[in-house]
Amino acid sequence: MRGGPQRRQPELGVLKATDLREAHLGGASLHKAILEHANLPDADLTGSNLSEAHLRETDLREADLKQADLSNADLKQADLSNADLSNADLKQADLSNADLSNADLKQADLSNADLEDADLPDANLKFVDLSNADLRETDLTDASLPDWDLSSTTLDGAILSGTRLDE
C-alpha cells in the first residue's frame, strides 16, 4: 500500500437505550446509527453526521446539535426541548410527535421534514427553511417565525397562538 494505511473515523452502530448524557461526540460519524431510546441530554453533537440515524424516542434535551447533519433521520417522539439545532440539516427528517419546545432552530434546513403533531412552543425558527414541510397539528405557540415563507408548507390544524411572524 502506497502512503500507508488509510485512517477512517470510527462509526458507531447500535447503541439502543444507551446512556450517553453529557457525551462529547462533536464531529462524530453516526450515519445510520441506531440510537432509539438512548439518553443524550446535554450531549455535544456539534457538526456530527447523524444522517439516516434512528433516534426514535431519544432524549436529546439541551443537546448541542449545531451544524449537525440529521437529514433523513428518524426523530419520531424524540425530546429535543431546549436543544441547539442552529444551522442543522434536517432535510426530510421525521420529527413527528417530537418535543422541540424552546429549541433553537435558527437557519436550520427543515425542507420536506415531517413535523406533524410536533411541539415547538417558544422555538426560534428565524431564517429556517420549512419549504414543503408538514406542520399539520403542530404546536407553534409563541414561536418566532420572521421571514418565513408559508407558501408550500402544510399547516392544517397547526396551533399558531402568539406566534410572531415579524421581529
* Residue in 70, 74, 43 with CA at minimum distance from that of residue 57: 74
Tens digit of each residue's pLDDT (9 = 90 or more) over 129-138? 998 999 999 9
And the C-alpha cell for 160?
A: 399558531
**Residues 6 or more apart in contact with residue 1 via CB below 8 angstroms:** none
Domains parsed from the chain with CATH numbers: 11-167 (2.160.20.80)
Tens digit of each residue's pLDDT (9 = 90 or more) over 88-127? 999 999 999 999 999 999 999 999 999 999 999 999 998 9
Measuring CA to CA, how many Å separate 109 from each of 37, 94, 126, 141?
A: 24, 13, 11, 20
> What's the predicted TM-score (pTM) here?
0.86
Region of residue 115 (phi > 0: left; psi between -120 and 50: alpha; otherwise: beta): alpha
Which residues, listed in sequence order, are joined to residue 103 by a DSSP beta bridge? none
